Structure 1
Amino acid sequence: MGWDLATPFIIDLQVGPEDIDGLGHANNAVYVAWLERCAWRHSQRLGLDLTEYRRLDRAMAVVRHEIDYLAAGYEGDELQLATWIVDWDQRLKMTRHFQLMRPSDGSTLLRAQTTFVCIEMSSGKPKRMPAEFIDGYGMALYTGHMD
């Protein structure tokens, strides 16, 4: 696969009939839901699930999506969505990169970047990341280069 960066976290997806819009392809809102699903599963893999978020009274909330839709997905397509944590300040902000590919033809359907801010769940206000976030998300920070 032609991933943009090394060592991606990957989830498998299939375009279902409910994902198709009036133009006959996967609706762009579906792609946004897939980005959320991928980021959330990666966080869970890092030990930062909803239970831990509640215990810490902290969460990573989306403040910005930048999405480039490059090709359409069609009903029945088997897809893979990868994510990498590419930047963070270890205080409030974290940035993920995403790439959606169709393995059958090697095409990239989407590239996206999402910026998250750490919030206090009880107030919804921005708050500094706890040590558990720095440790967990820090393990996944992409620091390498593609050869």
Structure 2
Amino acid sequence: MHLFDLRVYYEDTDLAGIVYYANYLKFIERARSEWVRALGIDQTQMKAQGLVFAVRRVEADYLSPAYYDDQLCVETHVLPGSGARLVLRQDVKRGEAVLFSAVVTIICMTIDGTITRLPAAIRQALGLK
């Protein structure tokens, strides 16, 4: 599990001071980027080698609103995947309350858009076969 803390800023909210729904996707993207970095995976180096990660699918549940100035935490958990796809559950929490939950499927592809297996070093870092 990886934890990523963030605070809700005014720019993250709508007119009512509630986090705008699309910003949860930004929050979980930032958390994934930091998680990948913490695993020692250099995405700039990956791109130089012709490979990039891409989101293939997102299943999202909006459970309760977050508000301006809330302190939130994104929990990222690896779910069973394969050598060609990575599946994550990401929960945005305020304290123990889950406000947003998503299952995100990530693929690896070449710069020209061809889907490919995750590199062996990445599969090993993620505990995948």
Q: Same fold (TM over 0.5)?
A: yes
Consecutive unaligned residues of structure 2, counting only runs of 5 or more, are none
1:131 aligns with 2:120: yes
Q: 8 Å contact 2:51–2:109 — kept in the other structure?
A: yes
Query: What does 1:1-147 correspond to in 2, within 5 Å?
Result: 8-90=1-83, 92-103=84-95, 106-120=96-110, 122-138=111-127
Percent of aligned positions with the same letter in both sequences?
A: 28
Aligned partner of residue 42 in structure 1, secondary structure: helix
TM-score (norm 2): 0.92
Q: 8 Å contact 2:6–2:71 — kept in the other structure?
A: yes
Which residue is equivalent to 1:5? none
Structure with the bigger percentage of strand: 2
RMSD: 1.6
Consecutive unaligned residues of structure 1, counting only runs of 5 or more, are 1-7, 142-147
Q: How many residues align?
A: 129
Kindly provide the amino acid, as one letter, of the partner of residue 42 in structure 1: W
Kindly provide the amino acid, as one letter, of the partner of residue 57 in structure 1: G
Measure, in 1, the Cα distance between the counterparts of 2:99 and 2:127: 28
Residue 98 of structure 1 and its aligned partner are, at CA, apart by 0.8
1:97-142, CA deviations, whole angstroms, 9 ceiling, x for partnerless residues? 0111112xx311011100011101x212101221122112227x9x
1:46-95, CA deviations, whole angstroms, 9 ceiling, x for partnerless residues? 111223312432222101111101010000100111001112111x1110
Q: 8 Å contact 1:58–1:129 — kept in the other structure?
A: no
TM-score (norm 1): 0.81
Aligned partner of residue 127 in structure 2, secondary structure: helix
